Amino acid sequence: MSSVVNIIYFLIFNTLIAINAENYEIDVNGYVAYCPCMGRFGNQADHFLGALSFSHALNRTLILPPWVEYRKGESKSVQVPFKTYFKVKSLQEFTKVIPMEDFMDQLSDKVWPTGHRISFCYSERRKLDGTSSGSCNAKDGNPFFSFWDGFGIDFDKSEFFGPLLTYDVIHRGMDVIWNEKYSPDKYPVLAFTGAPAAFPVQAENVHLHKYLKWSPEIDSKADKFIKNFLPKGSFIGIHLRNGIDWIRACDHIKDVKQLFASAQCLGYNNEKGALSMDICLPSQEQLIRKIKRVVKKFKEIHKNNEIKSIYVASDNNHMIEYLNEHLRRMKIKAFRLPENNPHVDLAILGRANYFIGNCVSSFSAFVKRERDARGFPSEFFGYPNEKAQKSSARHEEL
Ligand SMILES: *[C@@H]1O[C@H](CO)[C@@H](O)[C@H](O)[C@H]1NC(C)=O
């Protein structure tokens, strides 16, 4: 009897595996691989859109890298499979992609065998101690080592593609030059030490965000929180960036015209405004003023549909008590996730009836792009400049 049960388990188990793992055929036009070695999720997502555009322009398959995460108290990065957070299928509607673990399992022996792995970089990367390596030195440092080594990848050669070639396939017809210099038959995999992309994401690639769809797990966690914890009715999602590293970063605004994702509100050439402390690190009073203004605006537009709550995502201080205290008279309560889960935060912010973000933050930029793709409204704290609206703001104080 038990052997029959075993056989049944065996059959079910193997069927599940067969359903889960898609079988991929070799792309004769080659592949693009890279390590998302710069920054946290927001930066990596910006880079991802550029890499997607780059591989599409070269007509190569993009190998979807795992997301690189840094955990408190751990010296090495952790790699999280791409599909833990996003659907592979919706990206395939735009271009050819394959998750890195599937590529390594199914295709690497044939396409990119050990002993023939070239690492691509713009120019030499020095060793950690600053001395010359004469190579891309692709596995030196964190997260570089963990990323490639997690797949058992060692590099046998380096290729410096700069200064003649750049990633900018949008403006210069670079795609043709890449394919001439590095034909897929001789270079089946272009494996880059960092993302073949600009930061922040180029304006022309922002729209690609629409192919980035949350995985069923993230979707369901976000929906459950909204359903079970937020009061019935509409809510505003806000993103507060106020940790110590952020405060230090905002110190630099006097020296620069743009910082991180600020082009999303200021325009790529500052055609829509100038960087300011109000935008980078708005005061508590500014936050409240902006929220109240949005609540009123929402009511004017939607008549019977009022804002009932505020959902807060933050890297540091969610200011729940402060918000509750100042919004009590409007009968609005503030909420946050009980645990630290930035991806569920993002998914919830993406679903809010209104979003107010930090224009400088690439985390906020992710939300803004997703909402734009869905036609949902967003604004930024401290933008546009409050001065023009100051006299009316005084009358607003409750
Ligand atoms: C792009 O690559 C695919 C194979 O992956 C090939 O069938 C197709 O013809 C290529 N397109 C162009 C325009 O070369």
Give the residue among 312, 335, 341 at the shortest CA–CA distance from 220. 341
- Are residue 200 and residue 278 in the same domain, yes or no? no
Question: Would you state the pLDDT for residue 233?
Answer: 94
Asked whether residue 315 is domain-assigned, the answer is yes
Instruction: Report yes or no: 200 and 365 within 8 Å, Cβ to Cβ.
Output: yes
This prediction's pTM: 0.92
Let me know whether 286 and 224 are in one domain. Answer: yes
Say whether both 123 and 224 belong to one domain.
no
In a domain, 85, yes or no: yes
What is residue 386's predicted lDDT score, i.e. its pLDDT? 72
Å from CA of 343 to ligand 1 middle: 34
Q: Which two tokens stand for residue 388?
A: 């023009």
Whole-number pLDDT of residue 238 = 98
The answer to whether residue 11 is domain-embedded is: no
Instruction: Give the residue ranges of the chain where pLDDT is below 50.
Output: 1, 15-18, 391-398
CA of 177 to the centre of ligand 1 (A): 17
Q: Which atom of ligand 1 is nearest to the CA of 61?
A: 5
* Same domain assignment for residues 282 and 161: no
Same domain, 151 and 80: yes
Does a cis peptide bond (omega within 30 degrees of 0) precede residue 384? yes
Q: Which of 26, 59, 97 to mutate to test the pocket of ligand 1 (most atoms within 8 A of CB)?
A: 59
Tell me which residue has its CA closest to atom 14 in ligand 1: 59
Residues 105 and 145 in one domain: yes
Q: Which structural domain range is residue 249 located in?
A: 215-397
- State the pLDDT at residue 58: 96
| Domain assignment of residue 317, yes or no | yes
The closest residue, in CA terms, to atom 6 on ligand 1 is: 29
Distance (angstroms) between ligand 1 centre and the Cα of 32 equals 15
Task: Tell whether 355 and 393 lie within a shared domain.
Answer: yes
- Domains of the chain: total: 2
Domain check: are 247 and 274 in the same one? yes
Verify that 70 and 188 share a domain, yes or no.
yes
Residues having CB within 6 Å of any atom of ligand 1: 27, 29, 59, 96
In a domain, 12, yes or no: no
Which residue has a Cα nearest atom 12 of ligand 1? 59
Beta bridge partners, 121, equal 160
Q: Phi and psi at residue 204, in whole multiples of 5°?
A: -70, -20
Q: Which of 189, 206, 223 is the last residue of a domain?
A: 206
CA–centroid distance, 48 to ligand 1, in Å, is 22
At residue 111, the pLDDT reads: 97
Please name the residues in contact with 124: beta carbons below 8 A apart, sequence gap of 6 or more: 132, 133, 134, 135, 136, 137, 158, 160
Residues 235 and 183 in one domain: no
The CATH number of the domain where 239 resides is what? Answer: 3.40.50.11350
Cα(29) to ligand 1 centroid in Å equals: 7
Protein residue whose Cα sits closest to atom 11 of ligand 1: 59
Predicted local distance difference test score (pLDDT) of residue 304: 86
Residue 1 lies in a domain: no
CA of 60 to the centre of ligand 1 (A): 8
DSSP-assigned beta bridge partners for residue 313 = 239
Q: What pLDDT, on the 0 to 100 scale, is given for residue 393?
A: 44
State how far Cα 38 lies from the chain centre: 12
**Residue 2 maps to a domain:** no
Does residue 14 fall inside a structural domain?
no
The tokens describing 274, both together, are 């100038």
Percent of the chain with pLDDT strictly greater than 90: 87
pLDDT tens per residue, range 67-87: 999 999 999 999 999 999 999
Q: What is the CATH number of the domain that holds 84?
A: 3.40.50.11340
